[in-house]
Amino acid sequence: MTKSGSIDRYILDAARSLLSEGERDFTMEQLAAKANVSRATIYRRVGNKEMLLKRLSHERGETFEQLDTRLRILKAARVVFGREGLAAATMEQIAKKAGVGVATVYRHFGDKENLIRAFLEEVGPKTTIRALALHPTDDVAHDLEEIVRLIMAFFYEHRDILRLVFMGNETERRYLQNLGQGSDTLLSLLTNYFRRQLDAGRLQNVGEPAELALALIGLILAFAIIGPSHYGIEVESLEHASNLIVTIFLNNLQR
C-alpha cells in the first residue's frame, strides 16, 4: 500500500472509530482531529461525509443502517468487555447494552468468539499495520510513527481491557490464545515489517526481527498502559509520546 493508501485507510479507520464511539453525527473537524490530518486532506482523499459513509458501507457490503447497528454492538461490547472481561462477558449483556435483541447480535456476528475477533480487528489498528508490514516504504521513521500512533491510541483507549491480558490475568490470556487473537498477532505483523526493512538494508542488524518487534511493543506498553495504570503518568499527547517512542527506538538502528 502506498503512503496515500495508508492515509485513506487511516481516515476510514478514524471514521469507523468515531461511529463505534456513538458519534454518528461526527463533524469533519472531529474526524480530522481523530485521524490527525487536515480537513483538506480528508476531502481530497475520501470526499465529503456522505461519500465517506457510502465507502465504509460498500467495503462491508452493508447498508449504512446495518453498519450503524454493527458499530453500536461493537461499542457496547467494548463497555461490557471492560467491565466483565473478555471471557466472562455474555452476548445477552452486550445486546442489552447495545439496546438490541440478542438475536440481532448473533445475526451480525454469529457467536461471541466471532464478535471478539471483529472487535479486535475492526476497533484495533491491525488493518493499517498489516498493510505496512506487507508493503513497507523506504521512510522507516514515517512508517513507525504511523504504526506507533495507531497502537498507542488503541492501547491507551482500551487499557482497562489490555491490562487484564498483559498484567497477569491468566484466564483472559488463555481465552485469547484459544481464539488465536493474543498479542502474538501484533508481534507477527511487526516482525514481518522489521524483517522486510532489515532485508532492504534500511535498518542496522542489531537484533532479530522478532526482538525488534518485542522492543517496540514494550515501549508502547510502558507509555500506554504501565505508566497510567501503575505510576499515574497519563499520556498528555499521543502524538508527542508516539514520536518520542520512535526517536528512542530508532536510535542506533538507522543507517
Tell me if 175 sits within 8 A of 86, measured CB to CB.
yes
pLDDT at 43: 79
pLDDT at 1: 42
In this predicted structure, the answer to whether residue 93 has a pLDDT above a threshold of 70 is: yes
The three cell numbers locating residue 222: 510502558
pLDDT at 42: 85
Q: Which residues contact 84 (CB under 8 A, 6 or more apart)?
A: 90, 93
pLDDT at 112: 92
pLDDT tens, position by position, 26-82: 778 888 888 888 877 887 888 877 778 878 877 767 666 666 788 889 889 989 988
Q: Which structural domains are found in the chain, ordered by start?
A: 1-59 (1.10.10), 62-123 (1.10.10.60), 126-250 (1.10.357.10)
Which backbone phi and psi does 136 adopt, to 5 degrees?
-65, 150
Q: Which residues contact 33 (CB under 8 A, 6 or more apart)?
A: none
**What distances in angstroms separate CA 162 from CA 155, 173, 177, one per listed residue?**
7, 10, 14
